[in-house]
């Protein structure tokens, strides 16, 4: 399979044609081999316009959603980023291309191990992984310039708001199962400014400050 052709097509038809802009951002999507993050049997759909199963009942988001969330973070290359929900590690790879340092938390050890191994093979060396409940954040490394949560909960976990730097941005799907609003939060002069981006559906953020049970 010619993955490079499929990848170019994905960027053109799913990202650029839907209004995703930014040279560095688009380059990251052209560079990162998405098929390496997809289970063997689903690789044929690695560049398709929908989410895919990655094991443990979890999913890798559709490319457009990964791009949309990343775009909202306005990364310049200097940021310290916290990601909750490493999953396949694909979003982590994109973040690692566009920021200085990425700290990524995943509750399933099997997924975190796989993601870490693919990213190590790709030579990414600005990422640290942790297995555990990301709804409590990563206190020792706080504050963060940017926080991205790729799992949904009715409220943004309070520890994540605390661990967001002044002037920082957080993006997360907020809402009930099967119906959420992708929400951007900016911390400006100590106040939180919230912007609705679009309706979306993500797997639940299972944890102390998220949803208590799956």
When asked if residue 90 is in the footprint of ligand SAH (CB under 6 A), the reply is yes
Q: Backbone phi, then psi, for 116, in 5-degree steps?
A: -60, -40
Q: Name the active-site residue from 17, 48, 61, 110.
A: 61
Comparing every residue's Cβ against ligand SAH, the nearest one is 87
Q: Backbone phi, then psi, for 172, in 5-degree steps?
A: -160, 145
Q: Are 108 and 88 in contact (CB under 8 A)?
A: no
Does 61 qualify as catalytic in the annotation? yes
Site string for ligand SAH, 119-158 (x = CB under 6 A): --------------xxx--------------xx-------
Q: How far is the CB of 188 from ligand SAH (least distance, A)?
A: 26
Question: Comparing C-alpha atoms, which of 153, 152, 181, 160 is closest to residue 82?
Answer: 160
Q: How far is the CB of 39 from ligand SAH (least distance, A)?
A: 11
Give the three-state DSSP class for 35: helix
Distance CA 197, CA 183 (A): 6
Residues that bind ligand SAH (CB under 6 A): 54, 58-61, 84-85, 87-88, 90-91, 105-108, 111, 133-135, 150-151, 203, 205-207, 210
Catalogue the active-site residues.
61
């Amino acid at each position: 399979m010619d993955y490079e052709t499929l990848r170019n097509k994905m960027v053109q038809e799913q990202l650029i044609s839907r209004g995703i802009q930014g040279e560095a951002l688009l380059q990251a999507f052209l560079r990162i081999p998405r098929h390496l993050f997809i289970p063997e049997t689903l690789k044929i759909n690695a560049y398709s316009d929908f989410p895919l199963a990655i094991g443990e009942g979890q999913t890798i988001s559709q490319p457009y959603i990964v791009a949309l969330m990343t775009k909202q973070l306005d990364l310049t290359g200097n940021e310290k980023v916290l990601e909750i929900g490493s999953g396949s590690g694909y979003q982590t790879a994109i973040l690692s291309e566009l920021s200085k340092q990425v700290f990524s938390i995943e509750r399933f050890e099997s997924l975190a191990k796989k993601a870490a191994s693919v990213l190590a093979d790709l030579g990414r060396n600005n990422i640290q992984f942790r297995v555990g409940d990301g709804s409590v954040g990563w206190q020792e490394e706080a504050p963060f310039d940017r926080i991205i949560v790729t799992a949904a909960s009715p409220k943004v976990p309070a520890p994540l708001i605390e661990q967001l730097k002044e002037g920082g941005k957080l993006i997360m799907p907020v809402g009930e199962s099967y119906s959420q609003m992708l929400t951007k939060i900016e911390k400006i002069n100590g106040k939180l400014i919230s912007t609705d981006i679009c309706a979306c559906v993500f797997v639940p953020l299972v944890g102390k400050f998220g949803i208590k049970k799956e």
